[in-house]
Copies of this chain bind each other. A is one copy, B any other.
Amino acid sequence: MAGVSQPSGLPAPSVAPDARRQLIDAALRLFANRGFDGTSLQDIADVVGIRKASLLYHFESKEQLRLAVLDHLLSVWNEGLPRLLVAAARTGAPRFSSVIGELVRFFDEDPNRARLLLRESLDRGEDMRKRLQTFVAPWVGVVAEYIRDGQKAGDIDAHVDPEAYVVQIVHMVVSGMATAANFDHALLPPSHPLGTPDERHTRELIRIARASLFRERGTL
């Protein structure tokens, strides 16, 4: 039935330098946009151009592919971490701009990252909690400590709850990037003197983060 259209004798050796990598990339994109349950192994194999059975040669199960995608994402995050901590080592407003800039950049580079993270924490909260505890919690602690320094020095509002503040901002960035295209474009007029919905979204995000942090109103 359903005579599978065997395209040909498949003469192409199909270089396939890093099929594994290609599969992870395709899976990231599909998982992020359709969800884990909404994506079949067939879908992923089709994108890469191999058979489903060949996919299962590289990853012994769908679950393990999921883990590989997540591991890959977190390793990319870890690569960028030093740069972020360097940014956090500055002082005052430059520090603020640098840190939040690095954060935004990571997800702006590929919004699928934000979508996947959001989906994972919806689908498998328990697993995600552990991962966040390992990969993000220490970094949150570092930034929170910088905030406490700022509070002692007097340039950061004493009412700020450092950890909770960082978590909220991260949350805002992640979920914002994940659904910005849908959410903001629906609620913000497409053309406006202040700019495109995306621009207004990002600008206001940074304004909110800054205005709710420093004691004195920032000078833009």
Chain A residues in contact with chain B, CB under 8 A?
Answer: 34-38, 115, 118-119, 121-123, 125-126, 128-130, 132-133, 136-137, 140, 157, 159-161, 163-168, 171-172, 174-176, 178-179, 181-189, 194, 200-201, 203-205, 207-209, 211-212, 215, 217, 220
Contacts and interface: CB of A to CB of B under 8 A. Distances in A.
Contacts of A179: 118, 121-122, 125, 171, 175
Given A136-B187, A172-B171, A208 B212 contact: yes
How many copies, total?
A: 2
B176 A217 contact: no
A51 B12 CA distance: 51
A35 B163 contact: no
Interface centre among A137, A175, A181, A188 (most CB of B within 10 A): A175
Nearest to A141: B187
A168 B200 CA distance: 10
Given A35-B37, A168-B172, 6 more contacts: A34-B123, A38-B123, A121-B179, A159-B220, A161-B203, A164-B200
13 contacts: A35-B122, A119-B122, A122-B179, A132-B182, A133-B187, A159-B211, A159-B220, A161-B204, A165-B208, A171-B172, A171-B175, A171-B183, A174-B175
A209 to B, nearest CB: 8
